Amino acid sequence: MRLKTSVRLALALAVIMGGMTQAHDTPAPGTAASTDDPYLWLEDIHGTRAMDWVKAQNAVTEKQFASGPEFSQTRDRILEVLDSDARIPYVERRGDYLYNFWQDKAHPRGIWRRTTLAEYRKANPSWEVLLDIDALNQAEGKRWVFKGSDCLKPAYDRCLLSLSPDGGDAIELREFDIPSKSFVKDGFELPVAKTQASWIDENHLYVGTDFGPGSMTTSSYPRIAKVWTRGTPLSAAATVYEGKPGDLAVSASHDRTPGFERDFISVAHDFFHSDTYQLKDGKLIHLDVPTDANADPHREWLLVQLRDAWTVAGVTYPSGALIATKFDDFMAGKRQFTTLFAPDAHTALSSYAWTQHHLILDIMDDVKSRLDVLTPQADGRWVHEAMPDAPTFSTVTVVDTDPDHSDEYWLSVTGFLTPSSLERGVLGEGPARTIKQSPAFFDASRFEVSQHFVTSKDGTQVPYFEIAPKHLKLDGKHRTLLYGYGGFEVSLQPYYSGSVGRAWLDRGGVYVVANIRGGGEYGPRWHQAALQANRLRAYEDFAAVAQDLVKRGVTSPTHLGAEGGSNGGLLMGNMLTLYPQLFGAIACEVPLLDMKRYTHLSAGASWIAEYGDPDDPRQWAFIRHFSPYQNLKPDVSYPAVLFYTTTSDDRVGPVQARKMAAKMEGMGYKNVWFYENTEGGHGAGADNRQAAHMHALAYDFLWNRLK
């Protein structure tokens, strides 16, 4: 129950994936953009004029890149990967069943289903289908996108289902009955909004939603948490906490762990600062930890993961550390902690997961995985034991555990050239065993992975991974795709992608992943090094990787492309405007670009802690240096660029990509392309075919322009 982390993940996991349709379609009073931006009309997201422009742009881009047999082949090969029946059906344990959501050719919008462990072990398990989203859409005349479920333990018979009308973050909430496989008549139900809801018991929910004017924060998330009783109107729900309009979000939750039932309120002030309260006997009791730390009560324990160093009871715990104490002792005022993990120059804590008797740490060592198991002892000590080493250049992640009942754990093992596998184990019963294996979607034997380090402008060593054909001739002629993100403490670790393999590597291309600052590859310090006024460090890092690829003879600017989405789209915008000489083509996807207006668009106000506030003149003084929309200049030799976005993106929104493309075209630039899908939210698409179309469009654009 990682309270603060769960808030941040629910609020968009660092802009990496969906927000609510609450875009501010008119300029904020007093902003410069209200008087000198000729493309404000494109901020009318569904307006006739704006949509006519989108349709015209889409037609041109489709004709250029998506009308020939080469595109169809790329799209179909990617779609084969996404629709493959041989993919791993990843599961989540709920009681005696393993639950899975599955999309394929026969079920484009997907089926929600479950099976038993014994059945899941089989090569072709028998699944019990609980809800067919395509059938639901046909019956209701809708285009619902499944966004997840929250089932009431321990029976797990009643669930809250989230359904998005277009793939965005705004969802309709409905109560579902598992035994009858039907929605509950007169059950809990909420209309489309950016809703947060969780079970208290079978007749009560904690809920935050759009209760009416003023009930959402300026970031468009719930400001008020209430208790809603079954059979009563939402208007009768009792308020348990009311945040400030300038807060990021407020949420409430109930921990149903047997013997440790507790209620909590989490108040996110911005993306990295929160306050947590225990709600006990109608009173709020503050958990006195730093506001930028993650507080995680679990059974008798309280874990605290630190973003900044913390001195307490005469002891200083470093940034990035994970420390533990007894929850009841902490609430009684005691401040003695045990350090469970402390980073060094090469390591950072990626995540952790509880089993019934143990704690598994997922540690990055120069961006490569290792797992440690910690076991608390009766005398207060914690025993450390290393789990078997992961394969070279791989990522091992704990994807599920069953902490209420057992020491079972499930591991995802993946690498750039190693098809993903799913392993299951029980701590104390020997090593985990592979239970599902993804097929190989391309011939990896022809390629090799290497890790390199380059010195950035300020002397910092920055790592990057390179996936290239074996015995690569360093003649500077290889079409190379450089991918990056660099924000919100999100790490880019090794991963297997059949789409990248088929659409890029199989063609003879080189694929590179840059671990630039702003991410979390080396913990909070790596992220904080590129915050706000230091944002340019991330772009200097990415440019340094690009220059190193040329210096080493892997590629040349003519053959070097770059790709990134969301915050990575902002990275691409800055590569375009600050380093145009380094690249031959850029794919800029669901991007932030107008950093003067971003806080007034969609959920942009929620990211002020990352970028700064452009309405504050002192902060605009540094933000303007990394605002691509404002930094476009005439008569510059910009590389070819494709802007990709979606109408239904209610997090970043489509308008920034629209305006950037329109402004470039208005300045006379010809090698500018734009494509906007209507569905899919902040992701690639609402179904696999839409996702395949988007990926193929980007890869073919880049491949063709890097000749």
- Write the Ramachandran bin of 281: left for phi over 0, alpha for psi from -120 to 50, otherwise beta: left
Tokens of 646: 């979606």
| 3-state SS, residue 638 | coil
Annotated catalytic residue, options 107, 682, 693, 695? 682
Q: To which residue do tokens 């090469």 refer?
A: 346
Q: What phi and psi, each to the nearest 5 degrees, are found at residue 522?
A: -120, 35
Beta strand 510-514 with 480-483 is: parallel
Measured CA to CA, the distance from residue 191 to residue 433 in angstroms comes to: 44
Q: To which residue do tokens 């999309």 refer?
A: 103
**Could you confirm whether 566 is annotated as catalytic?**
yes
Measuring CA to CA, how many Å separate 177 from each of 103, 139, 143, 155, 456?
22, 18, 22, 11, 55
Q: CA torsion sign, 48 to 50 to 52 to 54?
A: negative
Burial class (CB in 10 A: 0-12, 13-18, 19+), 657: buried
Tokens of 581: 């000489």
Amino acid identity, residue 231? G
Strand-pair partners of 283: 280
Contact 511, 550 (CB under 8 A): no
Question: Which stretches of 313-460 are assigned E, i.e. beta strand?
Answer: 315-317, 322-326, 338-341, 347-354, 359-365, 368-376, 382-386, 394-401, 408-415, 418-426, 433-437, 447-455
Contact 190, 172 (CB under 8 A): yes
Helix axes of 567-578 and 536-551: crossing angle, nearest 10 degrees: 60
Measured CA to CA, the distance from residue 661 to residue 50 in angstroms comes to: 13
Helical residues (DSSP H) of 121-247, grouped into ranges: 133-140
Within 10 angstroms of residue 392's Cβ, the number of other Cβ atoms is 11
Annotated catalytic residue, options 394, 421, 566, 648? 566
List, in order, residues 6 or more apart from 323 with CB less than 8 Å away: 303, 304, 306, 317, 337, 338, 339, 340
Q: CA torsion sign, 624 to 628 to 629 to 630?
A: positive
Measured CA to CA, the distance from residue 584 to residue 28 in angstroms comes to: 37
Measuring CA to CA, how many Å separate 124 from each of 118, 119, 121, 385?
11, 8, 8, 35
Burial class (CB in 10 A: 0-12, 13-18, 19+), 430: exposed
Measuring CA to CA, how many Å separate 475 from each of 37, 471, 559?
45, 12, 11
Measured CA to CA, the distance from residue 174 to residue 158 in angstroms comes to: 10
| 3-state SS, residue 679 | coil
Within 10 angstroms of residue 507's Cβ, the number of other Cβ atoms is 11
Beta strand 171-177 with 158-164 is: antiparallel
3-state helix, strand, coil in the chain (%, to 5): 25, 35, 40
List, in order, residues 6 or more apart from 253 with CB less than 8 Å away: 1, 3, 198, 206, 263, 264, 266
The full length of the chain comes to 707
Radius of gyration for the chain, computed over Cα atoms and rounded to the nearest angstrom: 25
Q: To which residue do tokens 């909590």 refer?
A: 264
Gap between the terminal Cα atoms of the chain: 50
Measured CA to CA, the distance from residue 571 to residue 487 in angstroms comes to: 9
Measured CA to CA, the distance from residue 667 to residue 681 in angstroms comes to: 29
Q: Which residue numbers are catalytic? A: 566, 682
